[in-house]
């Protein structure tokens, strides 16, 4: 899902993995890349956190805490527990988990991918649909019911610039499930073809994962036009993780969608207090100030975004890819050199440099970068994709 170009950007974007066989992931974050140079101008008024969390700006009266949702995210219905009790009874927890996953591979049970369906574990099971978060939640709950140790795992998937929106930087806060034993760790991921074990990873607490769940649900309600439910879920996410800059940026996007400009501004500023270079907040503040004709502030935040983009190797990679697609191989190579000078460990940079050098007739340099790309791309699916591209290049010079 992409955020509409004419709206403020909200955070999650979900993967588009086509089948359940590859397992699972979770709420993704759409971020506009920005810089952090210089001091930001101080807000004209102090940030009023209780007011922002009350919802009074939109609903004219505070929302009572008792009305916040309390979804049974990992709860399993009796019928589902009965199903799991029949999975390799008497075997060890890990053997039972393997048997469960084998059943998925054999399509004994399937879940249809729906990007806008963040569901609880039981809802995912009974509706047989859901997005990455829904499937992750279901798998963690099932694995624990089988007695296996299982937790939410956040994977820092490298960002990719989208051609259609040259100022949009997509950073995937990708979450999958991990189960560890004395013999090693088993990763259960919705899109194993895209998963790469070299990416930085971090174990999430259940509270952190639940906050992402509530945030996803809140943005889904916002897309459906139910603003009260949207606010309740977004606020619940902030109850769980009040120090999350991502969640404050989401609240700002919610207020902006509802034309509550002061509340949106203060939410974005709170996100920046927690993370001074938060890209959603920077981009949306720039848009907000420009709409208000506060051009000094708008230009300040636009400059922050520009400086950060120009220093980011992934933006340089985007520029190189765009130049390559248009046949401007010299420009592509120049931008790739700048990207590789800043960061050398992304196989995509090397593979594109290999293609570019090949187009420019520098076969030795091309071979060197193809070798580096295959060395860094430990995922067999990525290596197979690269082989197919090279075979095509060989047959279509």
Q: Could you tell me the pTM of the whole model? A: 0.76
> What pLDDT band is residue 12 in, cutting at 50, 70 and 90?
very low
Q: Rounded mean pLDDT of 89-99?
A: 94
Residue 226 is predicted with a pLDDT of 98
Residue 131 is predicted with a pLDDT of 84
Compute how many other C-beta atoms are within 10 angstroms of the C-beta atom of residue 326. Answer: 10
pLDDT cut 90: percent of the chain above it: 62
State pLDDT tens for residues 284-326.
Answer: 899 999 999 999 999 999 999 888 778 888 889 989 999 999 9
State pLDDT tens for residues 33-51.
Answer: 222 334 566 556 689 999 9
Q: Rounded mean pLDDT of 263-280?
A: 93
CA distance 232 to 130: 21
Report CA torsion sign: 281, 167, 288, 304.
positive
Residue 25 is predicted with a pLDDT of 33
> What pLDDT band is residue 26 in, cutting at 50, 70 and 90?
very low
Q: For the residues of 15-84, what is the DSSP string, one character each?
A: -----STT-----EEEE------SPPPPPSS---HHHHHHTHHHHSSPPPGGGS----TT---HHHHHHH
Sketch out the chain's domains with CATH numbers.
Answer: 1-310 (1.25.40.10), 313-395 (1.25.40.10)
Furthest-apart CA atoms within the chain: distance in Å: 69
State pLDDT tens for residues 243-262.
Answer: 999 899 999 999 999 999 99
| pLDDT higher than threshold 70 for residue 27 | no
Do 226 and 253 touch, CB atoms closer than 8 A?
Answer: no
CA distance 248 to 237: 10
> What pLDDT band is residue 334 in, cutting at 50, 70 and 90?
very high
State pLDDT tens for residues 64-86.
Answer: 999 999 999 999 999 999 999 99
């Amino acid at each position: 899902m992409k955020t509409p170009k004419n709206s403020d950007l909200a955070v999650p974007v979900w993967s588009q993995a086509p089948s359940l066989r590859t397992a699972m992931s979770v709420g993704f974050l759409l971020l506009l890349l920005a810089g952090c140079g210089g001091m930001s101008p101080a807000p004209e008024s102090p940030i009023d956190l209780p007011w922002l969390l009350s919802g009074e700006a939109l609903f004219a009266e505070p929302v009572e805490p008792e009305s916040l949702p309390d979804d049974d995210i990992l709860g399993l219905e009796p019928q589902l527990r009965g199903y799991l009790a029949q999975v390799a009874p008497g075997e060890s927890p890990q053997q039972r988990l393997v048997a469960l996953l084998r059943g998925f591979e054999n399509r004994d049970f399937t879940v249809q991918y729906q990007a806008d369906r963040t569901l609880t574990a039981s809802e995912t099971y009974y509706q047989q649909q859901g997005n990455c978060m829904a499937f992750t939640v279901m798998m963690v709950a099932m694995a624990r019911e089988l007695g296996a140790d299982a937790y939410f795992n956040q994977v820092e998937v490298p960002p990719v610039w989208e051609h259609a929106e040259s100022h949009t930087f997509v950073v995937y806060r990708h979450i999958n499930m991990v189960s560890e034993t004395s013999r090693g760790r088993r990763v259960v991921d919705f899109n194993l073809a895209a998963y790469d074990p070299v990416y930085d990873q971090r174990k999430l607490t259940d509270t952190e994962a639940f906050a992402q769940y509530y945030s996803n649900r809140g943005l889904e309600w916002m897309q459906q036009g139910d603003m009260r439910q949207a606010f309740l879920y977004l606020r619940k996410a902030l109850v769980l993780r009040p120090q999350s800059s991502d969640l404050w940026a989401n609240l700002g996007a919610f207020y902006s969608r509802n034309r509550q400009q002061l509340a949106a501004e203060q939410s974005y500023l709170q996100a920046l207090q927690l993370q001074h270079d938060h890209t959603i907040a920077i981009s949306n503040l720039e848009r907000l100030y420009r709409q208000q004709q506060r051009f000094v502030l708008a230009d300040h935040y636009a400059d922050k975004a520009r400086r950060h983009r120009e220093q980011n190797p992934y933006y340089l990679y985007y520029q190189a890819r765009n130049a390559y697609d248009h046949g401007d191989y010299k420009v592509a190579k120049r931008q790739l050199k700048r990207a590789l000078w800043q960061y050398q460990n992304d196989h995509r940079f090397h593979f594109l440099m290999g293609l570019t050098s090949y187009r420019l007739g520098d076969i030795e340099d091309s071979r060197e970068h193809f070798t580096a790309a295959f060395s860094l791309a430990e995922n067999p699916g990525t290596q197979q994709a690269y082989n197919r591209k090279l075979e095509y290049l060989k047959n279509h010079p």
